[in-house]
Each structure stands twice: as structure tokens, then as C-alpha cells.
Amino acid sequence: MSTGPATLGNTYDVLLYDLDGTLYRGADAVPGAVEAVAAQQARSIYVTNNASRRPGDVAEHLRELGYPAADDDVVTSSQAGARLLAEHLEPGAEVMVVGADALCEEVERVGLVPVRTSGPKTAAVVQGHSPDTAWPVLAEAAFAIRAGAFWVATNTDATLPLARGLAPGNGAMVSALITATDRRPEVAGKPYRALMQDAIDRSGGTHPLVVGDRLDTDIAGAVTVGLDSLLVFTGVSTAADLLAADSSMRPTYLANSLAALDESPDATRVGPQSGWSVARDGDAVILRRADGDPDAPVDAEEGIRALRAAAAFTLDQPAPGGAIAGDAAAASAIDTWYR
């Protein structure tokens, strides 16, 4: 950790970044994210639930976008999934792979035999994202799972953020097999422990911060392993999702973007905020200006402060009904959450 001015980024010795929706969307970097990451002194580790690409390919993509990334800085759910398989199977066991070639390679790397169709010797099924997965592949997996094969999913993300919007993720395909087999897989990726522990071990750090855009994977994964986390609104989760979330998906810090890494920890922490009051109204909360002009509009910076206050208020009792504006200033703040 740095001995310089206390910023959120240098309060920690390792920053565990999510990728899709946090650093890039599709082929393009999230605006401002490259500069924010490059400015940090803490080690950057890139942790992705996407099992469709090799770690080296992910690192190369990151470098092309301008991020500082060595191949060993990337930790994928395919690696975590392969490790789970190796813990449960004998060396040389046959594993049917639903997913990309990168997943096959990780299965082979731990001493198992990847195959593309199931048969009497199939001991396990491992399922990761691939845009080429079709019905015949899912059918082969279903046959093996119903026959008793051990089943690992690299992740269960329902959606995948791309430049055009949210596309079906691996979790959508996993749900199809759950319906077809009446079974549920072991899950390697966030929010489960395997991938998060792999990232911590790889980093060599003692005080990591998880940085991501999804409550149900990134932030919940941090909670699972007892780490602090920063939620940024550059990808999937929204302010409404945050207010409705329970304690298993609550971030330590909250910001609109990764620029918050250069702010002080206290400024970005979820908690009561001077100038804002929050009260409950059934399954919603009422937000009001506590001092200052209740009719004056607020900017995005003040809006995120208001959300930190509302999120802190709903920690013990989530508000699925969201936030209600008690005055014009609050209405302006809430409007900034969804721009």
C-alpha cells in the first residue's frame, strides 16, 4: 500500500477488477477506465467469470485497450472450474466440455481428458460460455448429467454486457440444463468461493479490494470471501438493484465510475451523508434534502452521495420499491442515478 495521500485505490495492496461491464463492454473500454486503472499503484488482478477466452488472450485484449496486464494477472472461471473438477475426479477422468476451446485446455492442464460428446466413461460435465453452444451440445450434456456425471458450471451469469446491450450469459444456458435434468451444478465463478480464492492466492496480497459492476457476482463474491468492494455503475447493476439487495450483495464503496479510485475512502463509502435524510415508506424509501435548498437541482456527484445514504439506510431492510423523492432536490438526485 502507498504512503502517499490516502485514496481508495492506494488503501489496498491489490485491486481485483471484474472485466465485462467494469473495464470494457464488448470490444471497447469503458470511458475513463483505462486512465483510472493505469494511475493505481496497487497490483491489478483481472478476475472474469467469462470462460470463453484463454487468460493470455484476455491479457492481450486488455493491453490493446491500454490496461497494464501480464498474462499471469488474469484469473478466469475456466481455471477455477478445472481446479474444482480436479478436486473431485481421478487423474485421467473423462470430462465433457460445454464451452470454448479455452475451457478444454484448462481441463487438460489439470490432468483430465476433455471430450465433446458424452458416453459411458464420462465422469463429469463442465459448462462455460460459448456463443456456439447449440441444442445438440446441451442434449449431450443432459444425457451425462442424468446418468450421474459430476457437473460444474464456470459461472451462472444470466446476462453478458456487450456494446449493443445485455446478451444471454452462461447462466441462461445453465438454467436450460437445470430444467432438463432436475440437477444443479457446482459453480466455480463469482459469487462462489473458488474463483475469488484463486484470485486472492494469485495476487499474493494481504488487503485486496474487489471492483465490479454486478451485485450478484462481483459484490456478492467479495462478501463470500470477506473482502471490501467497490460497485461502479458502468455495467449491469442499477441503483434500484442496490436498494433492493440484501446484505449478501452490499458494497463497501459506491461510485459512478472508476475515477472514484482517486478519491478518499471516506468520500466513497456507503453510509449516512451530510445534507441528506432517508425515511421508510412501506417497501420504498423517501429521500429528502436535509439542508440547503430543497428545490435546487443537484449534479451527478451529489446524486451519488444521496444514493450512498439511501443504500446505507436499506442495508438491514432492503427497499424493493426503490426511492421516492420528498422534494425537488431529491428528484434531481434520483434522476442522476439512471442517466
| Catalytic residue list contains 198 | no
**How far is the C-alpha of 100 from the C-alpha of 190, rounded, in Å?**
19
Residue 291 burial (C-beta neighbours within 10 Å; 0-12, 13-18, 19+): exposed
Catalytic residue among 13, 18, 228, 295: 18
| Catalytic residue list contains 327 | no
**How far is the C-alpha of 238 from the C-alpha of 213, rounded, in Å?**
9
Provide the angle, in degrees to the nearest 10, between the axes of the packed helices 193-203 and 77-88: 110
Backbone angles phi, psi at 94, to 5 degrees: -90, 130
Q: What positions carry a catalytic annotation? A: 18, 20
